[in-house]
Every structure is written in C-alpha cells, then in structure tokens.
Amino acid sequence: MSKKINLTLKVWRQKNSKEKGQFESYKATGIDQDSSFLEMLDVVNETLTVEGKEPIAFDHDCREGICGMCGAVVNGQAHGPQRGTTLCQLHMRHFKDGDTIVIEPWRAQGFPIVKDLVVDRSAFDRIIAAGGFTSVKTGQAPEANLTPIPKKNAELAFDAAACIGCGACVAACPNASAMLFTSAKISQLSLLPQGQPEANERVVTMVEKMDEEGFGNCSNEYECEAACPKEISVSNIARMNREYRKAK
C-alpha cells in the first residue's frame, strides 16, 4: 500500500503574457506517492474547482514522455530532479512528506507565457519550418538497404531525432538558448544522405530563424544536456556550428 504525503505548493499564477504574475501557495494533502506529478496537479485542481477557484493551467497530452507538451520548472530544475525524465514521468515518491515544491513555467523571451505554467512554444515550430523540405522521391518506399548508411551515422541521427521539442533545454540554459533543440533537428538530417541536397541552406535558415525568435547563444554551460529528458548530446551543437561555418 502506497504512502500518502502532504505538500505545500508555491505555484506561479499569471493570467497572460501582458499581466504581472506572482507565486501563490496551495496545500496538496493526501497525495499518493505512486501518482505522477501531473496527477498530483490534477488532484489540486479538483480541490480548487470545488472551492470555486481558478484551477492551475498546465500543458499536457500523452503523459507518457513522448509528446513534449508537459514542462515546468520544479524547485529550480526543468522537469524536476530526475534525470532523463519528463514532468509527466516524474513521480511523487521522489518527494517527502511536508516538502515545499516551487513550480514555475519555462522562462525565455522566445516562450511567452500564455497562462500560469503554459507557455507558447510555437517558435520551435517556426524554426523547424524554416528548414524546409528534403528532396526525396514520392511513391513507393525505397528498399531499406538501397542507400548504405554507416552504422555510427545512423545511430547518431536516431539519437538526435529523439528530441521531443519540450523546451527544457531553453528553460535550463542561463542564456535561454535553443541551440540544443535546433542542432538536434539539423543533425538528424545532416547525418543522413537524404538530408544532403539542402544541408547548407537548411542550417543557415534554421539558425537565423532561431536568432530571430529571440533565443540566446550557447556559452557551453551544458545545462541543456543535463535537463533534456531524452539526454540529447551537446555534441550536436558542435556539429551544427561546423555545418553553419561550412555553409557560410
């Protein structure tokens, strides 16, 4: 039988990006330690609704660590204290009875606050869109072994493609840099033959779009890699920088 714990939550509340926000305190009582962090917020929101108060707004979708929708800074750490874990995969057994948990949204110019813990991450979509398309033939899928790809390149491309675009890298970076995200999206194509025809144009347009969206530059803090729930390597940033210089 799982243990029940009582917590104090200090949650950032903000109606929209134009109004000032503030921390508000809530009691979370009788929380099952086997529940996830988002399930804990559900319980708190049910109580707030019964009391006639505005529930806490937070993003979520699959709740399986796949979609990248969830995300908040928990006690100063993006997605909370567990490495390689999204917020929906964080469980309450990692907290103790009587703990105070501070919860706030991603903080970045490129991620304006929509409401409470919800931020607008459409800047990521625009960075991806700036990369354009790949020149591949339509119709029947080609034979799997028709295009030889070195195993090392295939594995590196697969690791980069694991990025779910949650934005934790931006939230963790002291410069609010999106270079880990952008480099992962560039790497997954630049490492494969299919991404070669537009490689030079892609890296230039995506990097320039990233800068245009107001994200900071990389200063090699490595906080992004530490916060990434898919543990994307900062080596992708080095690859992107090499590709950018070559393209320019």
Model confidence at 2, pLDDT cuts 50, 70, 90, reads confident
Domains of the chain: 4-104 (3.10.20.30), 122-247 (1.10.1060.10)
Model confidence at 147, pLDDT cuts 50, 70, 90, reads confident
Can you give the pTM of this predicted structure? 0.94
More confident residue, 144 or 194: 194
pLDDT, position 1: 66
C-alpha 167/C-alpha 69 separation (Å) is 9
Other beta carbons less than 10 A from residue 118's beta carbon: 20
Task: Tell whether the model's pLDDT for residue 70 goes beyond 70.
Answer: yes
C-alpha 10/C-alpha 5 separation (Å) is 16
Task: Tell whether the model's pLDDT for residue 146 goes beyond 90.
Answer: no
What share of the chain in percent tops pLDDT 70?
100
**In the beta sheet, which residues pair with residue 133?**
none
C-alpha 171/C-alpha 108 separation (Å) is 7
The model's pLDDT over 158-176, given as tens digits with 9 standing for 90+, comes to: 999 999 999 999 999 999 9
The model's pLDDT over 83-123, given as tens digits with 9 standing for 90+, comes to: 999 999 999 999 999 999 999 999 999 999 999 999 999 99
**Alpha helices for 106-193 (secondary structure H):** 122-130, 151-161, 168-172, 179-190
The model's pLDDT over 167-219, given as tens digits with 9 standing for 90+, comes to: 999 999 999 999 999 999 999 999 999 899 999 999 999 999 999 999 999 99
Model confidence at 139, pLDDT cuts 50, 70, 90, reads confident
Both tokens of residue 137? 């033939």
C-alpha 146/C-alpha 36 separation (Å) is 45
pLDDT, position 123: 98
pLDDT, position 213: 97
Q: Do the bridges between strand 100-104 and strand 4-13 make them parallel or antiparallel, or are there none, so unpaired?
A: parallel
